Amino acid sequence: MLSLALVFGGRSAEHEISLASARFVLGALDPERFAVTAVGITRAGAWVVPTDAQTALHDGLESVSCEPAWLLTDPRQPGLQVGTDERFVPLDFVFPVLHGPFGEDGTIQGLLEMAGLPYAGAGVLGSAVGMDKELMKAAFAQSGLPQVDYLVLRDIAGAGDEDVARIEEALGYPVFVKPVNLGSSVGMTKAHDRAELLAAVDLALRFDRKVIVEAHAAGRELECSVLGNEKPRASLPGEIVPANEYYDYEAKYTEGKMAFRIPAPLTADQERRVRELAVQAFTAIDCCGYARCDFFVAEPDGRVLVNEINTIPGMTSMSAFPLLWEASGVSNGELMTRIVELGLQRHERRRKLMTTRLG
């Protein structure tokens, strides 16, 4: 049986979503194959092991008693020290379910690399590029992937007259304004005019030093899941139909605020194009393991545009990633096992690389 640490929570505005995703992952992991230790990271960044994992995942780490925990960074003895007695808990694998900064951005992936532990999902580079929307879109452009026009504002106190003029001339209205390094639509606004744009930039700057402003793509929103390492494959695409004006935080995580059509009503060519672009986007950022890619189908011409990639996508009962694989013939239990297997395979390949020069 594999000893697995399920890491959740974290120093991010997506902390609550991490708990919901971790509940789903814990329920889907095969108890006959995996001995799971739930490891929480508080909002302040402390690592803890809750005495009641289910309650912690439903009601938050603050609702239960927790023991302090430390990840050992000596690859000769991968594991945790837990409690005031610092007892050793050996680990074979880590499944980080951390959305946003300090979890999805390469930081914890780098820590796990130093600790010599195999882990689920993208490596340091793929995670970092996938989290930073500016670098992600640059990688997509370098690979020739079609996407909406955008501008990035960085290290500013707020949008000045020159910034506003540049946005209005290049993109027009409406536009979407987002923190560069955040997901789940946290801090995102659809701005229809100058007043809304200024307020949207101010909001986004509360979450990040960089703000991305994207042109509006009139049309339909699609999602497609990807699974694999060297030879990734894409699921059936699905279409999002939000109850709100756009696919915001409320629509993503509130029952009844969106509909999800699987498979998406597409022509055969459009479906093939979405799945092809999903794999290309996955490869463009050097991703591995699993991810979810988001798309627009522009109207009226039907062009497929890549929006973004999520290297630790939401995994709740409402989330596209598991739903799309389930519709593609992969059950939740099989999906989690496959993600672990891919992480183990990637780790084994890296472990065999030479660390001393020849001669």
Q: pLDDT tens digits for 72-99?
A: 999 999 999 999 999 999 999 999 999 9
Q: If you ran DSSP here, which 8-state letter would residue 158 be given?
A: S
Q: Is 351 a catalytic residue?
A: no
User: Class for domain 130-145+217-348, per CATH?
Assistant: alpha beta
Which residue's structure tokens are 């992936």?
A: 109
Round to whole Å and give the CA distance between 134 and 348.
31
**Reduced to 3 states, what is the DSSP secondary structure of residue 339?**
helix
pLDDT given for residue 246 in this prediction: 54
The residue from 12, 294, 328, 343 that is catalytic is 294
- State which residues of the chain have pLDDT below 70: 183-184, 244-257, 359
CATH of the domain spanning 2-119, picked from 2.40.50.140, 3.40.50.20, 3.40.50.620, 3.30.67.10: 3.40.50.20
The residue from 220, 273, 292, 346 that is catalytic is 292
The residue from 308, 319, 332, 346 that is catalytic is 308
Q: Is 184 a catalytic residue?
A: yes
The residue from 119, 150, 253, 290 that is catalytic is 253
Q: Is 310 a catalytic residue?
A: yes
Other residues' Cβ atoms within 10 Å of the Cβ of residue 282: 28
Q: Is 314 a catalytic residue?
A: yes
Q: Is 299 a catalytic residue?
A: no
Which pLDDT tens digit goes with each residue over 238-257? 999 877 655 455 555 556 65
Q: Are 349 and 51 in contact (CB under 8 A)?
A: no
pLDDT given for residue 352 in this prediction: 85
Domain range annotation of the chain: 2-119, 130-145+217-348, 150-215
Residue 197 has φ and ψ, to the nearest 5°, of: -60, -45
Counting Cβ atoms within 10 Å, is residue 236 exposed (0-12), middle (13-18) or buried (19+)?
buried
Which CATH superfamily, name and number, covers 150-215? Answer: ATP-grasp fold, A domain (3.30.1490.20)
Tokens at residue 147, please? 């996407």
